[in-house]
Structure 1
Amino acid sequence: MIAFTQPASAAIEIDERDFGPSYDTMIVDTVVGKPLQLVTAVTGTAAYLVSLPFSLIGGNADQAQQKLFVEPWNAMGRCLGCTVAEDNFYKSQDANDNIVRIVVDQPSEILIDTNDYVVVTK
């Protein structure tokens, strides 16, 4: 019996009124977060360029590009004060004619892309 009741007790209720960035997180992200992300992105780009000959020899140029160049610049595009999960949720709300959206329990939903595959967001 304990094995069946344990997953139910692990569920977390999300208060939708408090979902998303707050005033404080937006201010901190504006003053501290975004400038540090810019420094990280520029530094990562420089490190990627310096490491490129070595990563080409090692055969992991794609991984180096992803971690040192792509991810830092993608982080700059995150909404102000948002966590990664909040940003993914807001970006998933954009209209797409090929997506069937089934809302399970806001903000959790099931997205079915009629062209490709099933994506479950939480």
Structure 2
Amino acid sequence: MYNISKQLIILFVITSLFFIPFVTTVPAQEQMEEETKEAGSMTVDLLLIRPFGILATLLGSAAFVVSLPFSVMGGNIEPAYEKMVAEPASFTFKRPLGSF
């Protein structure tokens, strides 16, 4: 009886040691894929999206200055500022890198 239980314990330990590398690499691969996706989205954001956001902020600011006399007459300076300047600036400068 003692011999059988000892053999079962040894078999369990050997089996566990055999499967440990397979079990631990799967979460590591998933985490690595997430980090790669995150790094890719950060790169695209930095090189493509942010420059367009800066351009949109500059063009929106210019359009706001041009439309300012009409906004004053219409009494809607605040909404015009929000849509033309604040929203593009917030999208460009306040959000975390890589989040869209």
Scaled to the shorter chain, the TM-score interval is 0.5 to 0.7
Which aligned pairs between 1:72-87 and structure 2 lie closer than 5 A? 72-76=88-92, 77-83=94-100
Structure 2 unaligned regions, length at least 5: 1-30
Give the counterpart of 2:51 among 35, 46, 56: 35
Larger strand proportion of the pair: 1
State the AA in 2 paired with 1:29: D
Report the TM-score, using the length of structure 2 for normalisation. 0.60
* C-alpha separation in 2, matches of 1:57 and 1:32: 37
Structure 1's consecutive aligned runs of 4 or more residues displaced over 2 angstroms after TM superposition are none
> What is the aligned residue count?
65
Q: Which has the larger radius of gyration?
A: 2
* C-alpha separation in 1, matches of 2:67 and 2:87: 16
Report the TM-score, using the length of structure 1 for normalisation. 0.49
* C-alpha separation in 2, matches of 1:37 and 1:69: 11
Which aligned pairs between 1:106-117 and structure 2 lie closer than 5 A? none
* C-alpha separation in 1, matches of 2:84 and 2:44: 24
Instruction: Between the two structures, name the one with larger relative contact order (CA 8 Å, sep ≥ 6).
Output: 2
Larger helix proportion of the pair: 2
* C-alpha separation in 2, matches of 1:72 and 1:41: 5
